[in-house]
Structure 1
Amino acid sequence: MDEKELLTYYKQTGDLNTLGKLYAPYMSLLYGVCYKYLQDEERSQDAVMQIFEELIVKLRGHEVENFKSWLYVYARNYCLMQLRKGKKITNVDIEDNLYESEQQLNQSDEEDWTEGDFKKLETCLGTLNNEQETCVRLFYLEQKCYRDIAEITGFDLNKVKSFIQNGKRNLKICMEKK
């Protein structure tokens, strides 16, 4: 069975062996994503297992077109949620965040991203100036609005918009070069 068939079968039956077959190929990729954010081997391993447990329920209720992209976004947001918990920030609704991210991925015409693409993106983010990188990360990775970014960073609202626009353009140029 291919990935879509496994996903459909899991949604119909709730068979954990099927979910395991769907999840197993991505465990090392997810560990890398979790480690990038959590910076701790044990927490990252725990996160990979916790994400699997959450998928038992989440996948049966969500329409997922591209499992790999959806799973990457879910893992990233899971890690961000863990980091927020550590900072005692509780006013963020992660479910809405996940749903919006999933919808953005499903509505876009993106090709399937490989682990190399995500590494390239992370590398290119590092080439941006500090203001652009901060604003791009807050806007795209943490789904903050312009106003929230301005409050967090202390930048003027128009500067935030400019940093995001220029950062996005510079990211695109960097990604195309690599």
Structure 2
Amino acid sequence: MDNQKKILVPIAPCFEEIEAITVIDLFRRIGADIIVASILNKSEGLVVKGANGIQIICDKNLEEVIDQDFDMIVCPGGMPGAQYLSDCQILIQRLKKQKEQDKYYAAICAAPFVIFEKHGFLNSQVAGTCHPGFADKLANQTKVNLDVVVSGKCVTSKSAGTAMDFGLQLLRLLYPEQQVLDVLKKLVYTK
């Protein structure tokens, strides 16, 4: 049985590197079909510079893959990277489609507030968490003070410091526990 899952990680300039790369790395280790997609125009290329000066080469431009189906879409934080993602209308439309299809969508750090709260993905039925610097801006009915929150198909996390726990939770939502444990064993991760 092939249980390879298809994951989209959209990347914007000034993204938080740990949040993006941890998720990308974990999904690649477990064998997912993960597409790292730059929100930059195709003419701007595939290299995107993060908030701390680390550059990554994306697999595709978002416009090339936006019509594909994904088991999960994961938005890293970082500022103003999360704001750039929030302002990317084709990404917001794709996230809305993801929610309508009852498939997973996830965000970490500033992204749960800047993207999910702003565009109505967090509400009285869908709770979340975000970076403490934005937490007081989340509506009270949506706010949960945990490192990682799973609310239906919406997954949120606090910050770069919770990236590993966030990434592992995402794996556990899509893959059998034994596959996740195999990845952890190779990483010598014992938490």
Using the size of structure 2 for normalisation, the TM-score is 0.26
Which structure would you say has the larger RCO, counting Cα contacts within 8 Å and 6 or more residues apart?
2
Using the size of structure 1 for normalisation, the TM-score is 0.28
